[in-house]
Amino acid sequence: MEYLSYSKENQIGTILLQHAPANALCSPMIKEIDTVLNEIENDTDVKAIVIRGEGRFFSAGADIKEFTTVKDASGFSELGAFGQQVFDRIEQFSKPVIAAIHGAALGGGLELAMACHIRLVTDSAKLGLPELQLGLVPGFAGSQRLPRYVGAAKATEMLLTSEPIIGTDALQWGLANHAVSEEDLLDTAYGLASKAASKSAVAVGLALELVDYARNGEYEQGAKKETEAFGKAFASHDGQEGIKAFIEKRKPDFQDR
Ligand SMILES: C/C=C/C(=O)SCCNC(=O)CCNC(=O)[C@H](O)C(C)(C)COP(=O)(O)OP(=O)(O)OC[C@H]1O[C@@H](n2cnc3c(N)ncnc32)[C@H](O)[C@@H]1OP(=O)(O)O
């Protein structure tokens, strides 16, 4: 891997973006994220993922320098489509993905973070979609995901002004789950990841699938899916073990099956 490193510890995988100076998301880096997801998908030992950035920023967005190598509109559309494909995969991933954001998550960096299941930000981190400042629009589905979190009015303002908001505002606006100090960011991220990792992977996968469905699906269909998942979870080893452990007043011994 040239633009990121991947490591795992205590059932938590870490994707560390490493593309100095701003962790710009060039196409090869996005490809590397996709490759690492293949590895994580097949590794039953990894039960949660933290994505974070090395250096000053989480990520300052798509690689503006790479833009100069694109020939025409269809090439630029393809670049966007590839990012969307990988980020959609993150959103639909069967294991929880947590973005730990410091410094800045701008443009594609915020689009990546918005595809994650949970976003933790430092109080002063800058989050925004400044593409209009470049005469462009978002390409990795930021125009679609941002309004889901902050509502159409605030998303429109963020797009039209290109101005970032800070972490504490992101928390208030529903874009971030928690805003913490710089020194607490990793403890908060790994604490959350290890709570998720302590659950049954079967139940976690079903829960993520249901919440993902709720984003675009119909309520009634989603509720029907939930009853099916409820049955599946009940019939799983871990469903039975969880109930038994509660009755016996002990910690469950989940085996992810
Ligand atoms: C589909 C997706 C589309 C997109 O994502 S379009 C891109 C959207 N993102 C942006 O427009 C953000 C652009 N960057 C900035 O606004 C600023 O930068 C920062 C706020 C992130 C940091 O500002 P400061 O602290 O003053 O540093 P600095 O000197 O501007 O940047 C440090 C180095 O980082 C490079 N860099 C920053 N962002 C990008 C980027 N998105 N693509 C490629 N390089 C980037 C710069 O050029 C420079 O590099 P050097 O030191 O070699 O001059």
Would you write out the chain's pLDDT as a tens digit for each of its 257 residues? Answer: 999 999 999 999 999 999 999 999 999 999 999 999 999 999 999 999 999 999 999 999 999 999 999 999 999 999 999 999 999 999 999 999 999 999 999 999 999 999 999 999 999 999 999 999 999 999 999 999 999 999 999 999 999 999 999 999 999 999 999 999 999 999 999 999 999 999 999 999 999 999 999 998 999 999 999 999 999 999 999 999 999 999 999 999 999 99
Residues 29, 46 within the same domain: yes
Catalytic member of 66, 78, 111, 182: 111
Cα 228 to ligand 1 centre (Å): 46
ipTM above 0.95, yes or no: yes
Measured from the Cα of 111, ligand 1's closest atom is 2
**Do both 181 and 134 map to the same domain?**
yes
Considering the domain architecture, whether residues 179 and 209 belong to the same structural domain is answered as no
- For ligand 1, whether the C-beta of 106 sits within 6 Å is yes
Please indicate, yes or no, whether residues 69 and 181 belong to a single structural domain of this protein: yes
What is the token pair recorded at 44?
Answer: 């039953």
Atom of ligand 1 nearest to the CA of 129: 8
Residues 111 and 212 placed together within one structural domain of the fold = no
Indicate which residue of 41, 78, 131, 163 is catalytic: 131
CA distance 61 to 41: 25
Domain that holds residue 81: 4-197
The CATH number of the domain where 99 resides is what? 3.90.226.10
User: Is the Cβ–Cβ distance between 120 and 176 less than 8 Å?
Assistant: yes
Q: Is 62 in the pocket of ligand 1 (CB under 6 A)?
A: yes
In a domain, 257, yes or no: no
Residue 254 is assigned to a structural domain of this protein: no
| Distance between CA atoms of residues 202 and 235, nearest Å | 11
Q: Which two tokens stand for residue 187?
A: 């403890």
Q: Please work out whether the CB of residue 108 comes within 6 Å of at least one atom of ligand 1.
A: yes
**What is the Cα–Cα distance from 25 to 231, expressed in whole angstroms?**
41
Residue 138 Cβ inside 6 Å of ligand 1? The answer reads: yes
Global pTM exceeds 0.90: yes
Instruction: Residue 228: give its domain's CATH number.
Output: 1.10.12
Ligand 1 pocket test target in 106, 127, 137, 166 with most atoms within 8 Å of CB: 106
Domain co-membership, 191 together with 205: no
Q: How many angstroms is it from 22 CA to the middle of ligand 1?
A: 6
User: Could you confirm whether 91 is annotated as catalytic?
Assistant: no
| Long-range Cβ contact pairs of 204-211 (< 8 A, separation 24 or more) | 204/47, 204/94, 204/95, 204/96, 205/94, 205/95, 206/232, 206/233, 208/93, 208/94, 208/95, 208/96, 208/117, 209/92, 209/94, 211/117
CA–CA separation, 107 and 101 (whole Å): 13
